């Protein structure tokens, strides 16, 4: 690695020349860096907004899950079988499913070896449990903070290896040359007020891009507030996305962002909605239910049927709750709370029997009885079963004993994302999207697959770079000549922003507008006409981006707004395209149609939705964004799972001849 200066159009920029630059310090990026170093790639630099930013290091859940091959006990499992669990969710390439299954054991043991405290028994077995969409007991967990522990141990390993981390750096552009990635445009966020505002360039042979999911586009989100993502700059550079339609949404608290799954629902709190100012509390679920048994069973089931799933809507399935929350928050403009201080009542619907344990369905009653959790109130039951669940909120200033908890149905994870091949390299050569930025997953996936995918993809990228892409980057002057026009575009954006000045409030308003749009029209309720309108609005908002200025301190925020609106345009366009092609409700979203069925009595015709065989299950939508904001789509059939025909002698020969990594 070396640093020098180059001059482009009269402006002088520091340039770092390096073989491989890794962007981000989430669990995926840190693993990429560690694996690159292990494989001998020593000309290596990590750039990150902040060590300690991102999702891995700032999120968790009741029992945060890691999905891997079953490696304990006498049950039968195999990479092929696990690949099917990933593949059968629909719209996922079979070779990627097989790789994620096969490498899951290696990735897992690497983490365990680094000290992530995955529990094992006295014989060394890493026992597992069943997670959603999992036919075996493949899931494991190091507790509520599994991803934070992964981050911690991987960071310690990166530090032990003396890997260079530069922070605070905001990558604001991806440079290209002849269909390949050439490097990055960055802001050194500690130099924003200096002349040149900290702009610098990276001249790299390879870019590993572990920037996480594009959380910035949603208002109702359970991603940590510190995390935004940077998918937009990759799309802008011509990297195609795939499966941009596929997300996971579920109920989460919004003051402190946390999934309200597991015991939070199993204790059966009262759901209320209020006017925006907190007045006029109503038990809004009541009018839609015919019995207290169904109402309380649905709330109970949300504990382990957490993500919204359109297949769980009919016949008063548990996902009805999510729809009714949408009706309150988005359609009626009210706020929704889970109130642990009181049991549900029959307010507003005298046809409902009063709450009593006798009114619960058998599953809920048995669960509470077996857990000795028949206390009078939800909070007392929660205190009995899971006191740490109360402490967690207390640590964030929310006292569940005395106040209701504000919730919404929030975006939690993007199954789709940037497209990569079997080495996680994108169509833009030498650019490797890894972790949640990479969209390897399809419609449904077993819980815990995201963390596994991050470890497998980062290892694959490192293997490929170490084997094939060890070249030093071009001389700085040649690099500067090749990317001069692209750098000039960013420089102009920075100049225009700072020349106009501008207020942080205006930039915040810009972001709030785009986030509210995505939550209303591009989340778990999707309607073709509304998507058309939302996309038109988003395009108009992109056109207006230039009119807002920014102080130097706000440059990263203003440029992230641009990233966000570009991302939103690509994602909304992909959603619109899926509906045009006949897509029906699937995964974690509902497709509305005037001829569809009503989720339940009492909701207006706007809630009619279509469910049925998924006509798009066997293909993936690849989405490409042009520099002018135009979006094109290509539907590609999904690749099957490669057959299990490996013959050792042949593989060994190919391996010796260096024919494997290609
Ligand atoms: C509430 C919640 C619960 C979850 N539970 C589970 C679970 O149980 N099991 C599971 O498998 N998954 C779960 N997930 C998903 C999983 O946590 C994430 O997919 C994963 O942590 C993402 O890791 P990553 O390394 O790809 O990205 P992140 O950890 O998000 O890291 C991204 C990094 O990139 C940096 N960055 C971004 N943009 C830039 C830029 N322009 N310049 C410089 N740096 C940049 C960020 O600062 C950060 O360091 C959950 C997610 C949430 C929100």
Quote the CA–CA distance of 452 and 148 in Å, as a whole number. Answer: 14
In this structure, the dihedral spanned by the alpha carbons of residues 39, 41, 45 and 46, taken in order and rounded to 10 degrees, is -20
**Pocket, ligand 1, Cβ cutoff 6 A:** 23-29, 47-50, 53-56, 59, 61, 64-65, 147, 169-171, 210-212, 222-223, 227, 229-230, 259, 412-413, 435-436, 447-451, 454
Quote the CA–CA distance of 228 and 203 in Å, as a whole number. Answer: 25
For residue 326, cis peptide bond before it (omega within 30 degrees of 0): no
CA of 56 to the centre of ligand 1 (A): 4
Lowest mean pLDDT among 26-35, 473-482, 542-551: 542-551
Residue 651, pLDDT score: 94
CA of 437 to the centre of ligand 1 (A): 8
CA of 209 to the centre of ligand 1 (A): 12
CATH tag for 249-411 (out of 2.170.240, 3.40.50, 3.30.420, 3.90.700): 3.90.700
- Summarize the confidence of residues 222-232 as an average pLDDT: 97
CA of 210 to the centre of ligand 1 (A): 8
CA of 308 to the centre of ligand 1 (A): 21
Pocket probe for ligand 1: among 53, 55, 170, the residue whose CB has the most ligand atoms within 8 Å is 55
- Summarize the confidence of residues 409-436 as an average pLDDT: 98
pLDDT above 90: residue 644: no
Residue 63, pLDDT score: 83
Pocket probe for ligand 1: among 22, 25, 26, the residue whose CB has the most ligand atoms within 8 Å is 26
Average pLDDT, the chain: 96
pLDDT digits (tens, 9 = 90+) for 297-349: 999 999 889 999 999 999 999 999 999 999 999 899 999 999 999 999 999 99
Pocket probe for ligand 1: among 154, 392, 437, 450, the residue whose CB has the most ligand atoms within 8 Å is 450
Beta strands in 238-306 (DSSP E): 241-242, 247-253, 258-259, 270-274
- Summarize the confidence of residues 561-567 as an average pLDDT: 98
Residue 401, pLDDT score: 98
Q: Any idea how long the chain is?
A: 662
CA of 44 to the centre of ligand 1 (A): 22
pLDDT digits (tens, 9 = 90+) for 142-160: 988 999 999 999 999 999 9
Backbone phi, then psi, for 6, in 5-degree steps?
-130, 155
Residue 646, pLDDT score: 83
CA of 436 to the centre of ligand 1 (A): 6
Pocket probe for ligand 1: among 146, 210, 239, 449, the residue whose CB has the most ligand atoms within 8 Å is 210
pLDDT above 90: residue 66: yes
- Of 451, 509, 538, nearest to 213 by C-alpha is 451
- Of 141, 96, 183, 176, nearest to 445 by C-alpha is 96
Residue 144, pLDDT score: 87
pTM: 0.97
DSSP annotation of 586 reads: B
Quote the CA–CA distance of 435 and 449 in Å, as a whole number. Answer: 11
- Summarize the confidence of residues 456-466 as an average pLDDT: 98
Residue 61, pLDDT score: 84
Give percent of the chain with pLDDT exceeding 70: 100
Give percent of the chain with pLDDT exceeding 90: 93
CA of 130 to the centre of ligand 1 (A): 23
CA of 26 to the centre of ligand 1 (A): 6
In three state form, how does the secondary structure of 136-193 look? CCCEECCCCCHHHHHHHHHHHHHHHCCCCEECCEEEEEEEEECCEEEEEEEEECCCCC
Helix (H, G, I), strand (E, B) or coil at 253: strand
Ligand 1 atom nearest the C-alpha of 47 is 43
Measured in whole angstroms, how far is the alpha carbon of residue 352 from the centre of its chain? 39
Neighbours of 522 (CB within 10 A): 27
pLDDT digits (tens, 9 = 90+) for 615-639: 999 999 999 999 888 999 999 999 9
Q: Which of the four pLDDT bands, split at 50, 70 and 90, describes residue 17? A: very high
- Summarize the confidence of residues 87-104 as an average pLDDT: 98
Element (H, E) at 6: strand 2-8
CA of 556 to the centre of ligand 1 (A): 19
Q: Going by C-beta distance under 8 Å and a sequence separation of 6 or more, which residues neighbour residue 117?
A: 142, 143, 149
Q: Which of the four pLDDT bands, split at 50, 70 and 90, describes residue 90? A: very high
- Of 65, 33, 64, 69, nearest to 48 by C-alpha is 33
Backbone phi, then psi, for 387, in 5-degree steps?
-60, -30
158, 30 Cβ separation under 8 angstroms: yes
- Vertex 255 angle, CA 590 and 167, to 5°: 95
- Of 493, 491, 498, 513, nearest to 549 by C-alpha is 498
Quote the CA–CA distance of 255 and 272 in Å, as a whole number. Answer: 16
Quote the CA–CA distance of 298 and 289 in Å, as a whole number. Answer: 10
pLDDT above 90: residue 105: yes
154, 114 Cβ separation under 8 angstroms: yes
pLDDT digits (tens, 9 = 90+) for 503-549: 999 999 999 999 999 999 999 999 999 999 999 999 999 999 988 99
Pocket probe for ligand 1: among 53, 111, 567, the residue whose CB has the most ligand atoms within 8 Å is 53
CA of 201 to the centre of ligand 1 (A): 25
Q: Which of the four pLDDT bands, split at 50, 70 and 90, describes residue 454? A: very high
Distances from the Cα of 161 to the Cα of 127, 154, 157, 158, 471, angstroms = 31, 11, 6, 5, 22
pLDDT above 90: residue 272: yes
Quote the CA–CA distance of 440 and 243 in Å, as a whole number. Answer: 8
Ligand 1 atom nearest the C-alpha of 449 is 11
Q: Which of the four pLDDT bands, split at 50, 70 and 90, describes residue 216? A: very high
The ranges assigned to domains in the chain are 2-244+413-459, 249-411
Beta strands in 499-576 (DSSP E): 525-527
Residue 627, pLDDT score: 80
**Fold assignment, 2-244+413-459:** FAD/NAD(P)-binding domain (3.50.50)
pLDDT digits (tens, 9 = 90+) for 162-196: 999 999 999 999 999 999 999 999 999 999 999 99
Ligand 1 atom nearest the C-alpha of 438 is 26
Ligand 1 atom nearest the C-alpha of 212 is 27
Written as one string, the DSSP assignment of 449-510 is HHHHHHHHHHHHHHHHHHHH--PPPPPHHHHHHHHHHHHHHHHHHHHHHHHH---HHHHHHH
In CATH terms, are 2-244+413-459 and 249-411 the same topology?
Answer: no
Residue 565, pLDDT score: 98
């Amino acid at each position: 690695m070396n640093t020098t200066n180059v001059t482009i159009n009269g402006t002088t920029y520091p340039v770092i020349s390096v073989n491989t630059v890794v962007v981000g310090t989430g669990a995926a990026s840190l693993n990429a860096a560690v694996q690159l170093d292990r494989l001998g790639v020593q000309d290596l630099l990590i750039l990150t907004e902040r060590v300690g930013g991102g999702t891995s290091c700032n999120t968790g859940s009741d029992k945060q899950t890691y999905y891997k091959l079953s490696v304990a006990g006498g049950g039968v499992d195999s990479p092929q079988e696990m690949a099917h669990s990933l593949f059968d969710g629909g719209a996922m390439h079979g070779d990627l499913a097989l790789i994620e299954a096969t490498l899951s054991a290696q990735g897992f043991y690497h983490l365990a070896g680094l000290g992530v405290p995955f529990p094992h028994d006295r014989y060394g077995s890493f026992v597992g449990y069943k997670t959603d969409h999992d036919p075996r007991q493949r899931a494991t967990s190091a507790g509520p903070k599994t991803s934070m522990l992964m981050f911690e141990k991987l960071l310690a390993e990166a530090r032990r290896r003396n890997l260079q981390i530069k922070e605070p750096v905001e990558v604001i552009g991806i440079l290209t040359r002849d269909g390949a990635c050439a490097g990055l445009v960055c802001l050194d966020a500690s130099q924003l007020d200096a002349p040149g505002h900290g702009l610098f360039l990276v001249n790299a042979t390879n870019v590993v891009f572990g920037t996480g999911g594009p959380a910035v586009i949603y208002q109702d989100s359970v991603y940590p507030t510190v995390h935004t993502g940077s998918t937009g700059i990759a799309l802008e550079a011509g990297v195609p996305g795939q499966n941009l339609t596929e997300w996971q949404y579920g109920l989460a608290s919004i003051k402190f962002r946390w999934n309200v799954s597991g015991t939070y629902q199993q204790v059966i709190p009262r759901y209320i909605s209020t006017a925006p100012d907190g007045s006029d509390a109503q038990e809004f679920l009541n009018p839609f239910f015919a019995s207290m048994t169904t109402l309380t069973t649905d709330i109970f089931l949300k504990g382990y049927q957490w993500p919204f799933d359109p297949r769980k809507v009919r016949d008063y399935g548990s996902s009805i709750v999510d729809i009714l929350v949408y009706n309150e928050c988005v359609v009626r403009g009210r706020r929704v709370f889970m109130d642990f201080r009181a049991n549900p009542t029959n307010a507003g619907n005298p046809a409902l029997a009063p709450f009593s344990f006798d009114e619960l369905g058998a599953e809920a009653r048995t669960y509470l009885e077996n857990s000795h959790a028949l206390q009078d109130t939800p909070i007392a039951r929660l205190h009995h079963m899971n006191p740490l669940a109360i402490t967690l909120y207390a640590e964030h200033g929310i006292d569940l004993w005395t106040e209701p908890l504000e919730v919404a149905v929030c975006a939690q994870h993007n199954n789709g994302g940037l497209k990569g091949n079997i080495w996680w390299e994108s169509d833009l050569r030498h650019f490797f999207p890894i972790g949640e930025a990479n969209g390897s997953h399809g419609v449904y996936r077993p819980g815990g697959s995201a963390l596994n995918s991050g470890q497998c993809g980062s290892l694959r990228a490192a293997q490929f770079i170490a084997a094939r892409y060890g070249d030093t980057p071009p001389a700085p002057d040649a690099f500067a000549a090749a990317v001069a026009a692209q750098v000039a575009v960013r420089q102009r954006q920075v100049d225009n922003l700072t020349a106009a000045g501008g207020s942080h409030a205006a930039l915040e308003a810009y972001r709030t507008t785009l986030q509210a749009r995505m939550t209303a029209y591009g989340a778990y309720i999707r309607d073709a006409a509304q998507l058309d309108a939302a996309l038109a609005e988003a395009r108009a908002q992109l056109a207006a981006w230039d009119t807002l200025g920014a102080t130097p301190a706000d440059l990263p925020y203003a440029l992230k707004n641009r990233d966000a609106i570009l991302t939103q345009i690509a994602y909304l366009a992909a959603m619109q395209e899926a509906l045009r092609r006949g897509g029906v409700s699937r995964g974690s979203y509902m497709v509305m149609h005037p001829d569809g069925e009503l989720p339940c009595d009492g909701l207006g015709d706007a809630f009619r939705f279509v469910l049925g065989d998924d006509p798009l299950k066997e293909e993936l939508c690849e989405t490409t964004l042009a520099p002018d904001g135009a979006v094109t789509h290509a539907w590609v059939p999904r690749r099957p799972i490669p057959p299990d025909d490996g013959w050792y002698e042949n593989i060994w020969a190919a391996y010796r001849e260096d024919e494997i990594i290609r």
